[in-house]
Structure formats: structure tokens, C-alpha cells
Amino acid sequence: MSVALGTTRPLPVRTTPVGDPGDLLASLPRTTPYAWVRNGEGLVGWGEAARVAVPPGPGRFAWARQWLATVLGDAHVDDSVHAPASGPVAFGSFTFDEDARGSVLVVPRAVLGRRGGHAWLTTIGEAPLQTFSPVREPGRISYGDGSLSAPEWEHVVARAARRIRDGELEKVVLARDLLATAEQPIDVRLLLTRLARRYPECYTFSVAGLVGATPELLIRRTGQEIESLVLAGTTPRGTGTADDLARGAALFASTKDRHEHECAIASVRDTLAPLCSALMTPDEPELLMLPNVQHLASHVTGRLADGASVLDVVAAMHPTAAVGGTPTGTAIEVIRELEGMDRAGYAGPVGWIDANGDGEWGIALRSGLVQGRRARLFAGGGIMGDSDPAAELAEAQAKFRVMQYALEG
């Protein structure tokens, strides 16, 4: 554990209203940028007042909540804003696999927030100096195979589909990685800016080197109210309006994709129902159209029964069928056996939590791990018994384009 200001004395926290900063991402210095932004609103942070590597294991979310209670619970807070995400905030990223190392929580020294026409700045201790520098291009990008080549991954998909047809499980989500190397060190701020501009409806995030733009909201907690956006079932965008409409209609009518979506909704419903006094799920999905793909999407809303924090809900929900499979336990074992790589934070929970237990957490899709001149990009999709390996590969390649665009512009 690392706590810059020490846990032996409370963190001095001050939150004050500020003028509208406009583009939140333009406020970030080059080093240690943290971000959670959608449609120009959200949070950005820099510096580190406290940071911890969360130990792996089935109790990691409870451990993280206890650590946050220790660090944030005794903070001396001067907050004149009194809104969700004002006061001290922690950004976090958890690995997909509970047994993998790499989960992290960070309380930045400064957090700039913007929501509903209001903006605020939270600082811990002395306000950290913002050392601004021009955003730099990374230069030419070259790509190489990740853990598996494309033909090898198609073979894995075929093996998984065969096991589903044999009745071992209903669905498994398989991912692959792609390695990118730049001529110059990769400036995370450039990736964030490009992602936020091209995918404004997604949640653009940066936590400890994990950078991306996810369309999937795992959970939002505001007081006792919760929301979730479930995505399962995907098709690439078409070449024009008519092609888009045809592809969307085919996706909506696809037995394979509709069944995949129903598995995902059932997983979320079964998980949230014990935590909620009320829970609403739609009878039919809708089409969510993004610049690169279309998804079947369902909005889920509810009211918590027992005052659980957002991390408690994250712990109950992860991994969802949308990123793991059905039944979940069997799917995770198949992923460990067949996928041939460590997902790290890909498809794991990423987001923020405040001292009141409110927060927003997404699933880290359309993302990459950035370090120096290198980035490891991730993409995947849901495999069913009738999945075609070539089509699944094309879907993954379409999803890679999000981060490739961020790198190349």
C-alpha cells in the first residue's frame, strides 16, 4: 500500500465550486491522468494522495471497501458542493479474473468535476502543481500478434463453440489482444481526447495505464437508486444508411444474438434482485449505434434495499454473462483453459467511488494497457454454439478499431 499523506492522520480535503472548465480533458497534465468522462461531463484527476494494489481473491471488493473506509472515512472534508463525486474520490480498476494481480485504487490529489452545468475542484492537502506540456503525437504505429495469432484464435473459437454444442455451457465470451508499438512515448491525453470526441456516448476512462472508451455501464449508484446498461449481441456498422438499417434489423432478428442478450439480462436480473427493493428490466432490447458497431442494449434500473455501496453491487455483478458467459463459473474455467492470455483489467470493472458509496463503474471494453511506447489492445465477443470463427474474428477486429483510431487519429 502507498499513501502519500499517510493513513496515520486524516486526509485534508477541500471541494469548491469553479467556473465551467469546458473540455475536462484539456485540464489534465501529462503525468498520472485519471479520467471518467461521457458527453463532456464526469471527472478528471491528477496526482496521488493515496494508492493501493488490491490483493487478488474472492474477497477483493470487500477488502477495497474497507481500505477506502479507512482512507476516506476519517478525512477532514470541507465540501461546499455536496453532490455525487464531490469530496474525496477514488478511481479504480479491477482485473477480470479475481485471482489475477493488477487491481488498483487511487485517490488523486486533485479532481475536477463537471455535471449538469456545475463544476467543482477537489484538492487533498496542498493543491498539486499542474505541469502542462503540449500533447504529442506518438508517430508511426506498428502492430504485432498478441498472445494468439488470428488463425489460432479462430481455432479457439471453434473449440469453444463445439463445447457449447456438446452441452457443457450456453455461452462463453472470448477475448484476444493486439500489440501496438509507437515511435514516441504514447501520450494518454491524446488517446482520451480522440476517444471522447469520436465516442461521446461512451465512458472514456483512464486508470493506472488502462485507457479506453466503454459503452457498457456496469452500475451507477446515486443514493439508493441504481442503473445498469446491458450490451450483448453485436454487428459491425454498415457502409451507409441502408446497410446500417439492414444490419440492425438482422441483429434484432438474430436468434443467436437475441439468446446471447437474454442470457446477459437474466444474469443481471438474478444478481441484482436480492439487493433491490425494486428492479425494472425491459421486455425488449433496443439498438445502440456506435461509430464502429451496433449493439443490442437494455437499460436496467432499481432501488437498493440495504444501502450497499457501489462496490458491493460491483462485487455481486462481476463478471456478468456479457463478459464471462453462462453459466458463469463454467464459462470462467473455459476462458482460463482456452483463451491463452491474461486479460489484466480488460472486461473488468473500472470507474470511481466517493466517500458516500456513490459511483459509476463500467466494464473496461474497447481498451488498452499503455506503457511508454507500447500498448496492449483488447477486444472480444460472445461465443454461442452456432458461432462462426471467421465472423467472430471480424467482430473483434472491428472492436480493435476503437483503440487503433485513438492511437493513429
Cα 372 from Cα 186, distance rounded (Å): 6
Angle at 166 between CA 164 and CA 169, to 5 degrees: 40
Render the burial of 170-196: b for 16+ CB within 10 Å, e for the rest. Answer: bbbbbbbbbebebeeebbbbbbbbbbb
If one counts the domains in the chain, the total is: 1
What proportions of the chain, in percent to the nearest 5, are helix, strand and coil? 30, 35, 35
Of 318, 404, 314, the residue nearest 368 (C-alpha): 404
- Phi then psi for residue 374, to 5 deg, are -115, 150
pLDDT at 129 (0 to 100): 65
Q: Give a yes or no: residue 136 inside a domain.
A: no
Looking up residue 347, the CATH number of its domain turns out to be 3.60.120.10
Per-residue pLDDT of the chain (409 residues; tens, 9 = 90+): 444 434 446 789 999 999 999 999 998 988 779 999 999 999 999 999 999 999 999 999 999 999 999 998 888 999 999 988 999 999 999 999 999 999 999 999 999 999 988 999 999 987 666 667 889 999 999 999 999 999 999 999 999 999 999 999 999 999 999 999 999 999 999 999 999 999 999 999 999 999 999 988 999 999 999 999 988 888 888 888 999 899 999 999 999 889 888 888 888 889 999 999 999 999 899 999 888 889 999 999 999 988 789 999 999 999 988 889 989 899 999 999 999 999 999 999 999 999 999 999 999 999 999 999 999 999 999 999 999 999 999 999 989 999 999 999 9
**Cα–Cα distance list, 67 to 55, 88, 105, 112 (Å):** 11, 14, 9, 23
Identity of the residue numbered 91? F
Q: Give a yes or no: residue 7 inside a domain.
A: no
Q: Give a yes or no: residue 224 inside a domain.
A: yes
Of the residues 98, 154, 216, 339, only one is catalytic, namely 216
Query: Residue 293's domain spans which residues?
Result: 12-130+142-408
pTM: 0.91
Question: What beta strand segments (E) does 21-169 contain?
Answer: 34-38, 41-46, 50-53, 76-79, 89-93, 104-107, 110-115, 118-124, 141-145
**Residue 216 among the catalytic residues:** yes
Q: Give a yes or no: residue 5 inside a domain.
A: no
Of 47, 28, 206, 205, the residue nearest 123 (C-alpha): 47
Cα 150 from Cα 161, distance rounded (Å): 17
Residue 255 CB burial class (10 angstroms; 0-12, 13-18, ≥19): exposed
CB 93 within 8 A of CB 52: no
Identity of the residue numbered 144? G
Of the residues 171, 260, 339, 395, only one is catalytic, namely 171
